[in-house]
Amino acid sequence: MNTQTTAIEVLGITKSYGDHVVLRGLDLTVPAGTVYALLGPNGAGKTTMIRILSTLIGADGGAARVAGFDVRTQPDGVRRSIGVTGQFSAIDELLTGRENLRLMADLAHLPAREAAARVDELLARFDLVDAADRRAATYSGGMKRRLDLAMTLVSRPRLIFLDEPTAGLDPRSRRDLWQIVRELLDEGVTIFLTTQYLEEADQLAHTVGLLDGGRLVAEGTPAELKAQAGGETLDDVFLALTGHGVTPESDDELEEIR
Amino acid sequence: MSTMTYAARDSYTMLRRSLKHMRRYPSLTLMLIGQPVIFLLLFVYVFGGTMGAGLPGGGGRADYLAYVAPAILVMTIASVALSTAIYVAKDATEGIVDRFRTMPIARPALLTGHVLGALAQTVLAVTVVLAIAVLLGYRPDAGVAGWAGAIGILALLSLALTWLCVALGLAAQSVETASNTPLFLMILPFVSSAFVPTDSMPTGLAWVAENQPFTPVIDTLRACLAGRDPGSDAWWAIGWCVLVTVLCFWWAGRLFGRVRAV
């Protein structure tokens, strides 16, 4: 497999918790340097998919290669290549923003001088300079999410997983985050994100996978999907394919952004 | 760098994180030191007069202080270990540990950081408690070999109890559980030679007390600090500590690497 062109390759991944089947044989491919959005309602299996691809949990069946490494047999190769920002903030609240970033730099084994420079650069880029020496516990939701993403970027991963990156964020923070995703894309980073927000997938993704009940019910560019289902929006597509919407309330929130 | 140097470097990074946490939470460290100090005062000044009279050959409060001081040091170590379980569980419930698990970090580094941090806290707590015991009139009679033995057995016990509590903290599904499951470590010393000689107990209980790990550890520490030869107790104490350390190190590693439900 050529890691230059394919960032993620998933073949027939299955996962159950006891009797509860979460993923029922998922196939997908993400070309390097693109944004793939896994769109689906709560409980569709989005987070489980990210946890499998980021080596946090094992799949029951099927295979997945991430950045050319098998998630089952070469987890350390995967871990060296990826960055993960989960749904819940993965920051150390007792440490300051600067200390959190420095912790990541030290764990990435950056030399001291380079580490300090990288930390300053990220603090500036994520608008955290003023809050750098305050404990992260005092940060607002948007600041915590920015710090979280900055921590993910310390080691300059070429492939980033974002699990519902804008869930619970106010409209302005959401737009800021979209902007950051676009900048990362310009730098050639591959992004795999999950979302319940149709507009988010529409705005950011090259390829959208519609996940429902542990199955990929459709996959394509936003335009292809709309043409395929004869709908104007991804919501129409989702409704046409599954008989139900993603999350009606999420679109009310998006109205505020528009 | 080799795998080993990375493991050492990552452990050091995690140790610094643990020490920073302790500095940001001085109240916890104060409580860890305060609790055994209160035990010490309680046992010397409330129970000490009566308990001293019950020691073999009889005695007074001062004799009981000499008897109980090593036991209080052991309680101090148990108390620090307990806080480690809470700390590890709290860490695991927050997203940061999942982040560490998606990073190419030497696997045992995070746990080693916790354990080394707890050791540092133990050194501080034991020193303060020992200093207070000396202020109250405790006069250890140990020579160089005795002190070396005492420090050695305290270090081994601390390592064993801390790894045990790391595993219990990881096994607990919540911080509340993690603060309860290791409590037996505070109860067990009472059923040992810590506070009263075991032969003053009923036969069955005395058998339990004589054969549980805390008794040889406390007897060894007591002998070392009194400048006596601990004899075979030392081997039992070392054996128990090494056994618990090895088993719990392995158990904690398994729990940490375990595939967790979402």
**In Å, how far is A151's CA from the nearest CA of chain B?**
10
Question: Is the CB of residue B79 less than 8 Å from the CB of residue B36?
Answer: yes
pLDDT in tens, A52-67: 999 988 999 999 999 9
- Find the closest chain A residue to B5 by CA distance: A109
pLDDT at site A41: 84
Question: Is the CB of residue A168 less than 8 Å from the CB of residue A141?
Answer: yes
pLDDT in tens, A91-109: 999 999 999 999 999 999 9
The residue whose two tokens read 């998933």 is A10
pLDDT in tens, B111-123: 999 999 999 999 9
Please enumerate in sequence order all residues whose Cβ is within 8 A of that of B73, keeping only pairs 6 or more positions apart, or say none. Answer: B36, B126, B129, B130, B154, B221
% pLDDT > 90, chain A: 57
Write the CATH number for A221.
Answer: 3.40.50.300
pLDDT, chain B, mean: 91
Question: Is the CB of residue B19 less than 8 Å from the CB of residue B114?
Answer: no
pLDDT in tens, B122-147: 999 999 999 999 999 999 998 999 99
Write down the ipTM of this complex. Answer: 0.85
- Whether residue B45 has pLDDT greater than 60: yes
Q: Give whole-number Cα distances, B227 to B37, B64, B66, B147, B197, in Å.
A: 24, 17, 12, 8, 19
What is the number of domains present in chain A?
1
Give the strand order in the sheet containing A35-39. Answer: A82-85, A159-163, A190-195, A35-39, A207-212, A215-220
Higher pLDDT, B39 or A88: B39
Window from A75-84, A119-128, A243-252 with minimum mean pLDDT: A243-252
H runs (alpha helix) in chain A: 46-53, 75-81, 97-107, 112-125, 141-153, 171-186, 198-204, 222-229, 234-242, 248-257
For residues A225 and A227, what is the distance between their CA atoms, to the nearest angstrom?
5
pLDDT, chain A, mean: 87
Q: Closest by alpha carbon to B147, among B205, B90, B224, B248? A: B224
Task: Judge whether A214 lies within some domain.
Answer: yes
- Whether residue B148 has pLDDT greater than 50: yes
**8 Å CB contact of A89 and B105:** no
Task: Judge whether A93 lies within some domain.
Answer: no
Select from A17, A55, A103 the Cβ nearest to the Cβ of B17: A103
Q: Closest by alpha carbon to A29, among A51, A45, A5? A: A5
Mean pLDDT of B235-256: 94
Mean pLDDT of B192-197: 92
Contacts of B100 in chain A (CB under 8 A): 107
Residue A220 structural domain: 6-88+157-257
pLDDT at site A249: 45
